[in-house]
Amino acid sequence: MTSTIKDFLNILTIFLIVITIAYLFYEAISSKIKIETSFISKLLSTIFYILPFLDICIYFYKAMVRLYPSVLLKLLNFINPIIAFLHKFPYINTIIYIFIYILFIKTDSIIEVNKFVKFNALQSLLISMVISFCTIFLRFIPSTTSLYYIMFENIICVYFLFIILYCTFQTCRGKYTQIPIISDSARYHTDPDFDL
């Protein structure tokens, strides 16, 4: 086997082990704690927002370097191997999203979680989809060196960074987020009778 296939299988194995351990830990704790937003639910819900953050780091790398050079240089040592891996396997995000949907979000999902975790998992997937649509839209703008392109790219980058920070902050507090279209879609898909 080539080294890239070995790397992919190693990462996939680690990902599945982490999901299994998180599920077993969640099962052990959730049977004892009946609060809907327990610490484990908050932690698991917060982990889902790493994926949209990585999408921003991949797609808006230039904008982040322009906006936050000192912060990004400190995080670069940690994030750079992950970004390099995601560039090497461009469809790994899609595979991860499908796993998250099958494991956590579906009505008859494999892992039985509460509405709070389902809501945040689906919302993180929807945010990632909107980020992807924005990057597809940016590819059709002809001049990547124009002032309007740079401004638009910076606005999108800052907007989604603040959305992810807001979602992470609200999740740590155990509260549901109120993003106009995305939260409504996540709420409706989680449970149509579900009220924030």
Tell me what pLDDT residue 108 has: 76
In a domain, 148, yes or no: yes
Taking only the tens of pLDDT, the chain with its 196 residues reads 566 666 665 565 666 666 666 666 666 655 544 445 578 888 888 889 988 988 888 888 777 777 777 766 677 667 777 778 877 887 888 888 888 888 888 877 777 788 888 899 999 999 999 998 988 888 887 776 777 788 888 888 888 989 999 999 999 888 888 888 888 888 888 776 666 5
Residue 196 located in a structural domain: no
Given this model, what pLDDT does residue 26 score? 63
Give the H or E element holding residue 132. helix 115-139
Boundaries of domain holding 105: 3-190
Burial class of residue 41 in the structure, from the number of CB atoms within 10 Å of its CB (0-12 exposed, 13-18 middle, 19+ buried) = buried
- Specify if 37 maps to a domain: yes
In terms of DSSP H, where are the helices of 31-68?
39-47, 50-59, 61-67
CA distance 124 to 103: 14
**Separation between Cα atoms, residue 86 and residue 92, nearest integer Å:** 7
Determine, yes or no, domain membership for 62.
yes
Position 93 scores a pLDDT of 83
Looking at the 3D structure of the chain, how many domains does it have? Answer: 1
